[in-house]
């Protein structure tokens, strides 16, 4: 069996569960850090604030939204890089290869 097809450890249920648990723990720690930062920086509560923008809850939600936007955008950057590498490495043959070599940048856009 070649190295390309030896990906069984990536597809095992225990490996997938461990990776999802590690990712969930990392996201929970990150949100905890954002929660602590927003709580310590902005005093008071939503009831005491004159405007919603003055409360720490508003800033907490804002930080978490920006964090998820960062995760979402970086995931798509990695996805496109992976698609490009996969198509370029494993390639296509014949006339499709010439087309890919000429227009690969436009296709991936």
In this predicted model, what pLDDT tens digit does every residue of 42-97 receive, in sequence order? 665 545 556 666 666 777 788 888 888 888 888 888 888 888 787 777 777 777 77
For residues 100 and 87, the answer to whether their CB atoms sit within 8 Å is: yes
- pLDDT tens, residue by residue, 4-38: 556 666 677 887 888 889 989 998 998 888 888 77
Residue position matching structure tokens 């490996």:
15
Location of structure tokens 């856009």: 109
């Amino acid at each position: 069996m070649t190295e390309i097809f030896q990906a069984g450890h990536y597809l095992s249920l225990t490996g997938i569960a461990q990776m999802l648990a590690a990712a969930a723990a990392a996201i929970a720690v990150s949100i905890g850090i954002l929660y602590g930062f927003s709580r310590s920086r902005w005093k008071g509560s939503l009831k005491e604030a004159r405007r919603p923008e003055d409360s720490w809850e508003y800033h907490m939600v804002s930080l978490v939204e920006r964090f998820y936007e960062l995760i979402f955008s970086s995931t798509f950057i990695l996805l496109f890089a992976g698609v490009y590498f996969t198509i370029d490495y494993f390639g296509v043959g014949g006339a499709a290869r010439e087309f890919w070599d000429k227009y690969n940048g436009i296709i991936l856009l």
